[in-house]
């Protein structure tokens, strides 16, 4: 199940980014490092008690050329399109303003839960200020102080209560969900059309789900798939869809909902910084990844060209050393039909379970061959390992003292696991725990 998404909306200066930062805490955001998105982060993972979710500060999506009211309107639309739960933020010290009413009017249209939070209630004496806001017709207002961190727990409790449940699961388990991500014009839509144009592809006419009306469901060789749409791929309708931040946000959301992510590069243009950042997010999110070099037809090549390009990709995407690389052409259709085969394969690997006894043979052999180095007379002892999760495959390694596990030794064990089993295309996670 993909993580629920929470969006904060409200007119400027009510404290959206303050609340966002409070909720997100010290977490490092990938978005923050993406060029053009550096000024402020607008999308991040977060958690509250046992709930993990993603949160969007719609105020950070810059629509500077638009008139003021239009900006607020667009931001509310983004929240309604992208979020599962919306926090409607107002400023308790200003009372209800015309702009608050305008935001409310837009939000009335959504079926999604909207929670009204009244910010800048910095002490209990100010609590009475919330009563004015009942008139917005959004139910009970939650008092909040972003700068003092007050009221956040109650608000997040209420938010979490409104998260979709397992019953709202979008697709059956056997469906492979994948997305194509990459900069504009690398050929994402052409590739999708190329898949769907294949003879044996049966595109389902089923209308979209509640979450996203633009997913494409289809079947090939009896295997059901869903292509999760990204901003670059759908018909442009709304103004905000052309903004860079929104397209990054949209890509991150698509990744989050996917089992397999196809990182599409344009062979003519080579690799750019943003390709790496977004691919890095797919890796961090623990998704299976395939690197697709499209427009291979347009490149002048000899027998070395593919190797040179492969080496370049490996250098730039060090963290994706497990991802298969495919050279295709959406235009000529060359090797496009192989993509689904590889999608199936990495999806299998992403959900592969290794029996504990076999896993431990591998770990024992690895440790015997290359014992952990000792440190000041103490030595890391590896007792046993077990796989605790799939998607991505996650292993817990029990040791005497976890703090003695070095990155390089962890890497060594991970490589041994990779050499022994087929985990091509999927990241692996290794967690070190003290044996109790
Ligand atoms: P945004 O435009 O909605 O994202 O608002 P900001 O988060 O940038 O906050 C606008 C201003 O309100 C900043 O000067 C904040 O320091 C201030 N602010 C935010 N939350 C609170 C609060 O709970 N109490 C008070 N007194 N000021 C706050
Ligand atoms: P998107 O923005 O990533 O969805 O890219 P599009 O699918 O819209 O493609 C952008 C442009 O690249 C269009 O003009 C396509 O015709 C062209 N294009 C897409 N795939 C290929 C390819 O394999 N070879 C060549 N030569 N051009 C391609």
pLDDT digits (tens, 9 = 90+) for 237-286: 677 776 777 777 888 888 988 999 999 999 998 888 878 888 888 998 89
What is the Å distance from ligand 1's center to 18 Cα?
A: 6
Ligand 1: which residue has its CA nearest to atom 6?
A: 15
Q: How far apart are CA 40 and CA 212, in angstroms?
A: 26
The strand pairing partners of 48, in sequence order, are 51
Task: Please report, in tens digits, the pLDDT of each residue of the chain (436 residues total).
Answer: 678 999 999 998 999 999 998 998 865 544 444 444 334 568 888 889 889 999 999 887 776 677 778 888 888 988 998 899 999 999 999 999 999 999 999 999 998 999 999 999 999 999 999 999 999 999 999 999 999 989 999 999 999 999 988 666 678 889 999 999 988 889 988 898 888 876 666 666 554 444 444 678 888 888 999 988 764 455 556 777 767 777 778 888 889 889 999 999 999 988 888 788 888 889 988 999 999 999 999 999 999 999 999 999 999 998 899 999 999 999 998 899 899 999 999 999 999 999 999 999 999 999 999 988 887 888 899 999 999 999 999 999 999 989 889 889 999 999 999 999 999 999 999 999 998 7
**Dihedral-angle region of residue 86 (phi above 0 means left; psi in -120 to 50 means alpha; beta otherwise):** beta
Sign of CA dihedral 71, 72, 75, 81: negative
What is the Å distance from ligand 2's center to 184 Cα?
A: 9
Q: How far apart are CA 268 and CA 271, in angstroms?
A: 9
- pLDDT at 37 (0 to 100): 39
- pLDDT at 431 (0 to 100): 93
What is the Å distance from ligand 1's center to 40 Cα?
A: 15
Atom of ligand 1 nearest to the CA of 19: 7
What are the backbone dihedrals phi and psi of residue 208, each rounded to the nearest 5 degrees, phi first? -60, 170
Q: How far apart are CA 39 and CA 24, in angstroms?
A: 16
119 lines ligand 1 (CB under 6 A): yes
Q: Binding site for GTP, residues? A: 10-17, 57-61, 119-122, 182-189, 229-233, 294-297
Threshold 0.80, pTM exceeds = no
């Amino acid at each position: 199940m993909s993580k629920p998404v929470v969006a904060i909306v409200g007119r400027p200066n009510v404290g959206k980014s303050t609340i966002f930062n409070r909720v997100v805490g010290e977490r490092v955001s990938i978005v923050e490092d993406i060029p053009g998105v550096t000024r402020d982060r607008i999308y991040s993972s977060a958690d509250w008690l046992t709930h993990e979710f993603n949160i969007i500060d719609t105020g950070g999506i810059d629509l500077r050329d638009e008139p003021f009211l239009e900006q607020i309107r667009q931001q509310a639309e983004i929240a309604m399109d992208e979020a599962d739960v919306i926090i409607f933020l107002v400023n308790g010290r200003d009372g209800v303003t015309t702009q608050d009413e305008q935001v409310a009017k837009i939000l009335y249209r959504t079926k999604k839960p909207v929670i009204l939070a009244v910010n800048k209630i910095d002490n209990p004496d100010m609590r009475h200020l919330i009563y004015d806001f009942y008139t917005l017709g959004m139910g009970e207002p939650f008092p909040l102080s972003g700068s003092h961190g007050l009221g956040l727990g109650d608000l997040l409790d209420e938010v979490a209560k409104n998260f979709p449940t397992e019953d709202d699961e979008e697709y059956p388990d056997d469906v492979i969900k994948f997305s194509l991500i990459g900069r504009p014009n690398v050929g994402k839509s052409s590739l999708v059309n190329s898949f769907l144009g294949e003879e044996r592809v049966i595109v389902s006419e089923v209308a979209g789900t509640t979450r996203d009306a633009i997913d494409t469901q289809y079947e090939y060789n009896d295997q059901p798939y869903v292509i999760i749409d990204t901003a670059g791929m759908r018909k442009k309708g709304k103004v905000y869809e052309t903004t860079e931040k929104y397209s990054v946000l949209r890509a991150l959301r698509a990744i989050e909902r996917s089992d397999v992510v196809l990182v599409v590069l344009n062979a003519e243009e080579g690799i750019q910084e943003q390709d790496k950042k977004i691919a890095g997010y797919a890796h961090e999110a623990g998704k299976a990844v395939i690197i697709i070099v499209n427009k291979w037809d347009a490149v002048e090549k000899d027998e070395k060209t593919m190797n040179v390009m492969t080496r370049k990709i490996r250098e730039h995407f060090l963290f994706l050393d497990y991802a298969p690389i495919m050279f295709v052409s959406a235009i000529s259709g060359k090797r496009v039909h192989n993509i689904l085969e590889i999608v199936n394969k990495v999806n299998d690997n992403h959900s592969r379970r290794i029996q504990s006894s076999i896993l431990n043979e591998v770990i024992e052999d690895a440790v015997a061959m290359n014992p952990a180095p000792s440190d000041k007379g103490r030595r890391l002892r590896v007792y046993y390992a077990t796989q605790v999760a799939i998607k991505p495959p996650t292993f817990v390694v029990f040791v005497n003292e976890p703090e003695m596990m070095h990155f390089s030794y962890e890497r060594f064990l991970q490589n041994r696991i990779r050499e022994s089993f087929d985990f091509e295309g999927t990241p692996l996670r290794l967690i070190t725990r003290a044996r109790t």
